[in-house]
Amino acid sequence: MKKQSPINIITKKAQIDTRLNPIKFEGYDGPDTDVEWTLKNNGHSVQVTLKGNIAIKEGNLPNTYKAIQFHYHWGTESDPGAEHTIDGEQYPMELHIVHQNEKYNSLADALKHSDGLAVLGFLFVESPERNSNINDLINALKLVPHSGNSTQLKSFPLNKIILDQKKLDKYYRYDGSLTTPDCNEAVIWTVFAEPIPISRSQLNAFPKTLFFSDSKPMALNFRPVQKLNGRTVFVSDSAVRSLSAAGLSVVLAVWTSILFN
């Protein structure tokens, strides 16, 4: 297999693709309030199975993709656990929102095709302040500590747990795979350039509350980075402009310091 995930994204080698326009998020701002989602400890992560009309399209995706579930990967109380790395840096945690191509009737069918799934990857960065948008989910972890445990969650707007709208047009794109067995090479990956802030206590809630199927604390539940094998990683023009502006700001700050000190 030549298109495995996750990967290390080398920002300087990412190629600008002007077709990577902003992704259109449908239903992310508020699903049917009568719908309940299932939160489950599946033995290797905590997963929320989604219901309702939630989908993504555009952003050079070949079709509309319906959201089916989301889950997290994390480390320990002292070690990071995101799956994708950026220029070799591993972030504390990563959120994956999995979407299925609407032209396929089932997940099993979608997994047979290279365009079967579109997964959105969001990285987290430690912050001194708590992220109130993820509190309800973290509080529900204690209801599913052991493998096989599940509970019902009242649905909520998915845009609460991701980046602000203005930051969603900055992302990387590549062809890859699922990061759990059978690691099907059926995923169009979108990894967002900016991380989501979360406090250390919130990060620690995952390894301290959840347990693997063998009853050991659920920690370091990430797959190591895989070889790129000649694949191209693309980057949206918005992300490049943002990174360039950040670099220019640093240069200006340095020169200002030199000139006036």
Active-site positions? 44
3-state secondary structure of 36: strand
Apex 174 CA angle, 166 and 3, nearest 5: 155
- Give the Cα separation of 169 and 44 in Å (integer): 31
Q: Measured between alpha carbons, how far is 35 from 70 in angstroms, rounded to an integer?
A: 16
Inter-residue contact 3 to 229 (CB < 8 Å): yes
Most distant pair of Cα atoms in the chain: their distance: 65
- Distance from C-alpha of 241 to C-alpha of 230, rounded to nearest angstrom: 25
